[in-house]
Structures are given as structure tokens and as C-alpha cells.
């Protein structure tokens, strides 16, 4: 336990001023959201705030545990992304009230995952036991594939939660168009479309 505390203190000393300020500001905002959720009796949102605190600790845990050299800018982006997705997106309902919020976060997450892919390859490349040299094209392709794979698995997760647990993580409760063979009055394989659904 003492060693872990010493490592945390050492890590905090190495932390840049911008990263410390980001942790403090976002931590205060999440704490405010937590207190507000408890006062309103919304315990699901309160649990989500506690989960955000856990997620905030993941980058520093990963850096300590795996000796990863995550750039401060990337760590700040990850923290802001978590805050934007969970506190603003879910608790403040930005996903529902701001039409481009989900698209913006998905795009940002793609770039963040690509950067994390670069970091992982760099770590493997610096390890004496797994030393290998790769071309810039291969590193770029690997980072892209890593980003796409994470995105696909996240979509699987959202679909599974919606399908099996009755959640609405995909935020698609209003469907404007339907094209399906199930509505073919003859019972055949002809696609029947319904357009312009408003309610």
C-alpha cells in the first residue's frame, strides 16, 4: 500500500499543470452533479457520477500499472470525453437535446482510440523483450484498425444493452423511416416502406 501511495505521489508531481487543473475542474463539476442527483433522489445519476470518478482514475492507473507514457494532451482529451459523454450526454441529456452531440463524441472517440493505438505500439516497440521495428504505414494502419475495432465492439455493447436489458443507449427511440419485408401484404419478399414517421 505504501509503495502504491508513493507511486501516486510521484505521478502527481510529474503531472503537468494543465492536467492537474483539468482533473480539479472536472472533479468539482462531477461532485456538484453527484450532490444534485442525491438531493433530487435520482440515484441512477448519482451512481453514474461515482462511475465517472472511477473512469477518471483509469488513465493514471494504466500509466502506473503498465508503465505507459500517455501524453498529457491525450489524457486531458480522455477526461473531457468521459465528462462530455456521461455527465453532459447522459445526465444533462445533451444526447437528446443536441442533435450532433452523439456524432461529435463518436468522431472524437475514433481519434482518441487511434492515438491510444499509437501509444500501445510505441510501448511494445520500447520493450526489450518484444523489440520490433515497424514502418509508419503499418503503425498508422494498426492504429486505424484498433480504433475501428473498439468502435464496433462499443456498438455491439449498446445494441446488446438495448435489446436484452431494455435500455436506450443508441438513443433511437424515434424511427422516421421503416423499410421491411415484414409489412408485405402478400406475405412475399417485397420491401414495403413507411416514410415520414413523426410519432
**DSSP for 96-120?**
HHSTTHHHHHHHHHHHHHHHHHHHH
Q: How many residues would you count in the chain? A: 199
Can you give the pLDDT at residue 16?
80
Q: What's the rounded Cα separation, in Å, for the pair 163 and 76?
A: 33
Beta-carbon contacts of residue 87 (< 8 Å; ≥ 6 apart): 29, 30, 33, 48, 49, 52
| Residue carrying C-alpha cell 445533451 | 94
Q: Which residues of the chain have pLDDT under 70?
A: 1-14, 123-133, 172-174
Can you give the pLDDT at residue 3?
66
Can you give the pLDDT at residue 53?
94
The reply to whether the predicted model has a pTM over 0.85 is: no
Q: What's the rounded Cα separation, in Å, for the pair 122 and 149?
A: 19
CA distance to 44, 74, 95, 96, 110, per residue, from 172 (Å): 21, 30, 10, 10, 21
CB-based contact 82:56 (threshold 8 Å): yes
Q: Which residues pair with 194 in a beta bridge?
A: 178
Cell of 82: 468521459
Q: Which residues pair with 71 in a beta bridge?
A: none
Can you give the pLDDT at residue 66?
72
CA distance to 79, 163, 167, per residue, from 56 (Å): 6, 28, 24
- Phi/psi for 80 (5° steps) reads -65, -40
Amino acid at each position: 500500500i505504501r509503495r502504491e501511495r508513493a507511486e501516486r505521489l510521484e505521478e502527481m508531481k510529474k503531472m503537468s499543470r494543465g492536467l492537474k487543473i483539468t482533473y480539479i475542474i472536472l472533479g468539482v463539476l462531477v461532485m456538484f452533479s453527484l450532490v444534485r442527483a442525491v438531493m433530487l433522489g435520482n440515484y441512477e445519476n448519482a451512481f453514474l457520477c461515482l462511475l465517472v470518478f472511477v473512469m477518471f482514475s483509469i488513465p493514471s492507473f494504466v500509466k502506473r500499472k503498465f508503465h505507459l507514457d500517455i501524453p498529457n494532451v491525450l489524457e486531458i482529451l480522455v477526461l473531457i470525453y468521459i465528462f462530455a459523454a456521461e455527465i453532459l450526454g447522459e445526465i444533462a441529456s445533451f444526447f437528446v437535446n443536441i442533435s450532433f452531440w452523439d456524432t461529435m463524441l463518436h468522431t472524437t472517440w475514433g481519434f482518441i482510440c487511434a492515438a491510444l493505438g499509437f501509444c500501445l505500439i510505441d510501448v511494445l516497440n520500447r520493450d526489450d523483450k518484444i523489440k520490433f521495428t515497424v514502418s509508419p504505414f503499418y503503425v498508422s494502419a494498426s492504429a486505424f484498425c484498433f480504433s475501428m475495432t473498439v468502435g464496433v465492439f462499443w456498438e455491439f455493447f449498446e445494441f446488446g444493452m438495448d435489446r436484452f436489458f431494455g435500455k436506450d443507449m443508441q438513443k433511437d427511440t424515434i424511427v422516421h423511416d421503416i423499410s421491411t419485408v415484414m409489412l408485405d401484404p402478400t406475405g412475399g419478399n417485397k420491401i414495403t416502406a413507411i416514410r415520414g414517421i413523426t410519432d
